Amino acid sequence: MTNPFTSNKKVFITYALMWFFLFLAQINVLVFAMNIKLYPALIDSFVFNALYMILGIGIWYTVRFNSLENYSAVKIFLNHIVAAVITAGIWLAISEFILNQVLVADQKYLGLLYNSTVWRFLFGILIYIVLVAVDYVIIYYNNFQEKVLKESELKSLVKEAELNALKYQINPHFIFNSLNSISSLTLSNPARAQEMTIKLSSFMRSTLAKNENQKSKLIDEINAGKLYLDIEKIRFEDKFEFIEDLKLECKEMEIPSMILQPLFENAIKHGVYESLEKVIIKLSCGMEKEYFKISVENNFDPEAVPRKGNGIGLKNIQNRMKLIYNQDNLIQVEKRQNNFCVNIYIPVS
C-alpha cells in the first residue's frame, strides 16, 4: 500500500491544511499568550510545524511495519512508545537548533524556547499519537475498501459462472432425437435429412454463439427459437403451428439469452408429443405496467398421459431471472383445462 500522503492529492491537501491551522494557532498562542513579537512567532511556528509535517509523512511507514500481522498488540504499543519519544526528540532538537541560528539576537524569545522544551516535547508525543491513529484509520479504511471490492468481484464471477452453467443446460434429448430423425430420414427422405442437418447446424451455431452473451434482443431469440421449431417441424410435420404476436416496442428489447428455448421445448414435449390434434404454440409480447410481458402458450390434450419431466427448464429460467434482475417474481405459470402458458416479466430499465 503506497503512502496516501504522497500518492493521494486530496489526502495530502487535507494533511497540509491540518498543519496550516496548527501553524496559525501556535502563532496566536505565542503572540497573545506569551507576548512574543510577530516575527519570531511566525518563524517558530513555521519551523516546528513544517518539520513535523515532514516527519509525519514518514510515520506512515512505521505504522505499516507495525501491523497485527507482524507483531502482537503489546509489541506494537511498545514500538510506538519508543518511536514517539524518538520522533519528538528529533523534532525538538532540530527545531531548536534552527531557531537558535535564525533568532540568535532575540534573547527574550530564546528564553521562552528553552523554558518550553518539556511541554513542546510532550506536545510532539501527542501529535505522534494523533498521526498514528489517523494512519491506522486510513489503513483500515483502505483494507475495508479492498475487501468490499474483492467480494464484489468474487460475487460477480460466481454470478457469471452460475449464469453460464444454467445457459449450458441444453436439453440433450432434443439433440439425440434430432440425430435419430436425421438417421431415419437419410434412407427414406435424403432431401429432408439434409434440410434437417443444415437447420440443426445453424441452431447449434446460434446457441453456442449466444453463450458468450448474457443478453440478446428478443427478435434474435425468436429467430433462434424458429430454427428449433423448424427442426421439430420436419419431425412432426403439421402437428403444430407457431404464431407470434409482438408489439413494435418489444422487438428491440433485450432479454436473457436462450430464455425462450426451454419454453419451446416444453411446448413440443408436453403438447405436440401427446396431442392427436394440432397444437398452436403462440408467443406474444407487450407492455404491462413497468414490465415487458412475454407469454409462450400452447394447447394440449388434457386426457393424454403426461410425459415425465423434472422441470429443469422452468427452474433454469427462474434461477437466471433471479440472478440477472434480483427479483424472484418474474415468472408466472398458468395451467388451464387444455392450455398451458408461461409469462415472463422483463423489468423496463
What pLDDT, in 10s, does the model give residues 202-233?
Answer: 877 776 665 555 688 899 889 888 888 888 88
Q: Residue 220 domain-assigned?
A: yes
Q: Which residue has the higher pLDDT, 58 or 180?
A: 58
Residues 126 and 225 in one domain: no
8 Å CB contact between 282 and 296: yes
Residues 195 and 120 in one domain: no
8 Å CB contact between 268 and 232: yes
Q: Residue 87 domain-assigned?
A: yes
Residues 186 and 322 in one domain: yes
Q: Residue 49 domain-assigned?
A: yes
Residue given cell 428455448 in the structure block: 261
Residue given cell 433462434 in the structure block: 224
The predicted pLDDT at position 69 comes to 75
Q: What are phi and psi of 265, to 5 degrees?
A: -65, -45
Q: Residue 302 domain-assigned?
A: yes
Residues 339 and 250 in one domain: yes
pTM score of the predicted model: 0.53
Percent of the chain's residues with pLDDT above 90:
41
The predicted pLDDT at position 158 comes to 62
Of 88, 72, 92, the C-alpha closest to 130 is 88
Q: Which of 107, 123, 157 is the last residue of a domain?
A: 157
Please state, rounded to an integer, the average pLDDT across all residues of the chain: 85
Which set of grid coordinates corresponds to residue 331? 415468472
Domain CATH number, residue 199: 3.30.565.10
Residues 52 and 150 in one domain: yes
Structurally, the chain folds into a number of domains equal to: 2
Q: Residue 163 domain-assigned?
A: no
Q: Which of 129, 157, 185 is the last residue of a domain?
A: 157
Residues 218 and 327 in one domain: yes
The pLDDT confidence band at residue 99, using thresholds 50, 70 and 90, is very high
What pLDDT, in 10s, does the model give residues 119-131?
Answer: 999 999 999 999 9
Q: Residue 162 domain-assigned?
A: no
Q: Which of 123, 138, 157 is the last residue of a domain?
A: 157
Q: What are phi and psi of 16, to 5 degrees?
A: -65, -40
Domain of 178 in residue numbering reads as 168-347
pLDDT at position 72 over 80: yes
pLDDT at position 49 over 70: yes
Count Cβ atoms below 10 Å from residue 90 Cβ, excluding itself: 13
67 to 59, 60, 98, 142: CA distances (angstroms): 13, 11, 35, 14
Q: Residue 211 domain-assigned?
A: yes
Residues 151 and 175 in one domain: no
Which set of grid coordinates corresponds to residue 157? 464471477
What pLDDT, in 10s, does the model give residues 286-298?
Answer: 998 889 999 999 9
Number of C-alpha atoms within 13 angstroms, CB side, residue 182? 15
Residues 209 and 100 in one domain: no
Residues 141 and 209 in one domain: no
Residues 183 and 149 in one domain: no
Residues 219 and 342 in one domain: yes
| Range with the poorest average pLDDT among 33-37, 293-297, 300-304 | 300-304
The pLDDT confidence band at residue 322, using thresholds 50, 70 and 90, is confident
Residues 123 and 229 in one domain: no
